[in-house]
Amino acid sequence: MSERSDQSSGKPTLALVGATGAVGTVMREIISNRVDVYGEIRLVASARSAGKVLPVRGEDVVVQALTAEVFDGVDIAIFDVPDEVSAEWVPIAAGRGAIVIDKSGTFRMNPEVPLVVPEVNPGDARNRPLGIIATPNCTTLSMMAAMGALHAEYGLRELVVASYQAVSGAGVAGPARLYDEVEALAGDRTVGQAAGDVRKVLQNKLGDVESPFPAPIAFNVVPWAGSLKDDGWASEEIKLRNESRKILGIPDLKVSATCVRVPVVTTHSLAVHATFEREITVADAHRVLEAAPTVVLMDDPGSGVYPMPIDVVGTDPTYVGRIRQALDFPNTLDLFVCGDNLRKGAALNAAEIAELIAAEFAGAVA
Amino acid sequence: MSERSDQSSGKPTLALVGATGAVGTVMREIISNRVDVYGEIRLVASARSAGKVLPVRGEDVVVQALTAEVFDGVDIAIFDVPDEVSAEWVPIAAGRGAIVIDKSGTFRMNPEVPLVVPEVNPGDARNRPLGIIATPNCTTLSMMAAMGALHAEYGLRELVVASYQAVSGAGVAGPARLYDEVEALAGDRTVGQAAGDVRKVLQNKLGDVESPFPAPIAFNVVPWAGSLKDDGWASEEIKLRNESRKILGIPDLKVSATCVRVPVVTTHSLAVHATFEREITVADAHRVLEAAPTVVLMDDPGSGVYPMPIDVVGTDPTYVGRIRQALDFPNTLDLFVCGDNLRKGAALNAAEIAELIAAEFAGAVA
């Protein structure tokens, strides 16, 4: 593939598609702060955003409109766009020779597309017959580095998961809505104490401004994420099951998930009940997770040490705490995981995959 | 027992101990709005609150200080006070002849004290050798009416629970703290996006004002409720296990719970993964729950119908929705339950027990 790189240095040209979105913004920041393995970096967005000037890697870059030609000479393209945009444009970019890392749900379960978490299954990234690599849903990703490390030693068999998902998982409109609602409700020290009163205040103050959520999110939790699938399941819950199975390489992994949105700006949390093939103690889990790259153990509840969104947001690792041996279930741990859904849950994972690919270019030159 | 009642009508004298607290306030309101089965009602609180005048049943009642004598002539005493106050005073009240309904954790697991949810095990209330009846922890209570109904037909075997607990579960200081934090953070449309920024703003604006929570709760979720028990478990998680077993009469019920506080004023929510002895479908669960007294089914996610705190708060039932047949676990449902932790989760359950006892008085007279 090195023949595609414009750089004699072996540094690949990178395109960021969806550079102006919630994840795209974090992606530019992450790429600017990690080891620089790229030649040219192109920023690509919808025609609406074309012409904007945005910083990446300390340079001001003019955003280009999404066209087929924008991928000419591109070695690696990271897509963070809605599913239907990926469905149309990812094959076009791949057809022009770019290796595409796609954040959308479109290709994740395609058997010819690897679904990659570099800490768990980096080797899968090399087997990409379509030139496309998918990166998982942010809720799944928030726990994968930790669960992958435990699986490697103890053999994961079952997962029962309840999520506490941040509003930024719904894109830039999510935090905007939460801030709007909090401003509208602040100062009223009785609100949230009678059925429907939060809805009334928001209706009065925000009117019919559209929300990305199906219900008020301030002073509330909303047990719904995604679209309706068969038999009452939400798409986010099905994704967590299917994607966990594919990433971990456990086709018969038993999974039940309930996905719930909470009034947190950024960082997804998960309560995980995990059953393994082999006996596992809290000490075993501590040993494995302390050694796992990109995982941080925060597990001393007697001293108030456990992961929480406000302490995790803006940082890269997966944080794990509240690890307990289940009292009534053999070979089972209960634990609590937090990960920044825009970083490890999205942009960081894509950047890490891009670096795996960039290393192939460097290797080809060397 | 009718000889203790001052009323020839057979209406027992009731004492509310802890009448000024979060639950006590709701208790006075609930008793005022239900069928009036009591003779005299005495309000009792700490010496600090004695002399206050508070309304109950449309009358202004002067709060009396907690003394042994205050229980003379009392037939039923409902205690909502801290564990250590119950430990000291419940036996004194029972010793003076009152039947005590205690909301604290002190007596719940005492084999001589029944732990009662009227929808589930009303008969247990008659077997009270110490004259004491305990009412469960609010988190356990939030799901008991629903789980009890399902257990009665399908035989519950296992529960994996993750909670979304409201701040009022920590008493009146809980909502006060959440309102304080929301006011301090409102208007800042970047807060919650960098590690520790919420802590900094609150430190600047609220200083060292004491919080009932171990960490900021606005824009956060805190995976901790109660005190540290063996092996990293929180007391609230252990209570949910032990109390569910006792109420449902399933000594070997398998339970794992993770308790998490969320920025909701009032109403606890639970994501429940429940395994039964017999095969159970979503239609089966709908049929059982639609018929269950005090349970409301809200389960049409395609139309945005599922239980949420802002719609449940201030009402009596247990609401159940998001019922799904587990895809990988036999005889298992995943579901979401909401209940007002001050009403069904506390005051209402105690009031319902008091009514069971009052009916004994009425029966004895009749």
Burial category of A341 from C-beta neighbours within 10 Å (exposed 0-12, middle 13-18, buried 19 and up): buried
The reply to whether B293 touches chain A by the CB within 8 Å rule is: no
Nearest CA in chain A to B221: A308
One-letter identity of residue A310: I
Where chain B has pLDDT below 70, the residues are 1-9, 364-366
Residues of B with CB below 8 A from A231's CB?
282, 324-325
The predicted pLDDT at position B3 comes to 43
Nearest CA in chain B to A322: B232
Give me the sheet containing B132-134, strands edge to edge.
B64-65, B41-45, B14-17, B76-79, B99-102, B132-134
Give me the sheet containing B332-339, strands edge to edge.
B254-258, B156-164, B268-276, B332-339, B318-325, B295-297
DSSP 8-state class, residue B316:
-
B153 token code pair: 């037909």
First to last CA, chain A: 13
Task: Name B3's Cβ contacts closer than 8 Å, sequence gap at least 6.
Answer: none
The predicted pLDDT at position B4 comes to 47
The predicted pLDDT at position A267 comes to 97
Burial category of B129 from C-beta neighbours within 10 Å (exposed 0-12, middle 13-18, buried 19 and up): exposed
The predicted pLDDT at position B360 comes to 92
A193 token code pair: 């104490």
How far is CA A184 from its chain centroid? 30
A13 token code pair: 């040209």
The predicted pLDDT at position A24 comes to 87
Question: B91 to each of A21, A366, B98, B101, how far by Cα in Å?
Answer: 63, 82, 10, 11
The predicted pLDDT at position A3 comes to 43
Name the residue among B196, B237, B282 with its Cβ closest to that of A232. Answer: B282
What is the helix, strand, coil percentage profile of chain B, to 5?
40, 20, 40
The predicted pLDDT at position B362 comes to 82
How many Å apart are CA A201 and CA A210, to the nearest integer?
15
What is the DSSP track for B200-234? HHHHHHHTT---SSSS--TT--B---S-B-GGG-B
A47 token code pair: 């025609």
Q: Is A48 annotated as a binding residue?
A: yes
What is the DSSP track for A263-291? S-SS-EEEEEEEEESS---HHHHHHHHHH
Burial category of B211 from C-beta neighbours within 10 Å (exposed 0-12, middle 13-18, buried 19 and up): buried
Quick check: B270 and B237 in contact, CB under 8 A? no
How many Å apart are CA A168 and CA B171, to the nearest integer?
31
Is B259 an active-site residue? Answer: no
Q: Is the ipTM of this complex over 0.85?
A: yes
Quick check: A135 and A331 in contact, CB under 8 A? no
Quick check: B219 and B185 in contact, CB under 8 A? yes
Name the residue among A189, A220, A228 with its Cβ closest to that of B309. Answer: A220
The predicted pLDDT at position B8 comes to 53
- Which of A239, A250, A259, A308 is the best mutation test for B, with the most CBs of B within 10 A? A308
pLDDT for A307-333, tens place per residue? Answer: 999 999 999 999 999 999 999 999 999
Where chain A has pLDDT below 70, the residues are 1-9, 364-366
- Residues in B 68-87 with any Cβ partner in A closer than 8 A: none
- Which of B142, B156, B255, B256 is the best mutation test for A, with the most CBs of A within 10 A? B256
Return phi, psi of residue B268, to 5°.
-85, 140
Q: Is B108 annotated as a binding residue?
A: yes
pTM, full prediction? 0.94
How many Å apart are CA B174 and CA B188, to the nearest integer?
22
The reply to whether A212 touches chain B by the CB within 8 Å rule is: no
Is B273 an active-site residue? Answer: no
- Nearest to B87, CA basis, from B116, B63, B110: B110
